[in-house]
Amino acid sequence: MSEPQIKGIRGVLVFVGLGHPLSRAFVAATLVGVVAFTAGLPKSAFKEDGTMRPPSYLTNDPESTNVHFLVVPLSAAALTILLT
């Protein structure tokens, strides 16, 4: 019995378990989320006591924020689904 051949980027993606767009989107969102968290992007979405700041388009709270902390990873996932 011969060994299966891995040919091209599609073969590599299937071999590592990323053969479907949803699995690639999950991995991309996770990686981008970890990088964004390490870079400190979510700090603007949380108050000092650890609670989440409300979005500014839903409230007039002076502590509201324009950026929800899930926007960046979800955008990366959407782009991954659309472009791969």
* Distance (Å, whole) CA 57 – CA 74: 19
Is 71 inside any structural domain? Answer: yes
Rounded to two decimals, the pTM is: 0.71
How many structural domains is the chain composed of? 1
**pLDDT value at position 49?**
84
Is 43 inside any structural domain? Answer: yes
**pLDDT value at position 81?**
93
Range of the domain at 65: 20-83
Give me the residue label for tokens 């891995």. Answer: 6
Mean pLDDT of 56-68: 85
pLDDT band at 11 (very low <50, low <70, confident <90, very high): confident
pLDDT tens profile 18-44: 889 999 999 999 999 999 877 777 778
Q: Mutual orientation of helices 21-39 and 71-83 as an angle, nearest 10°? A: 150
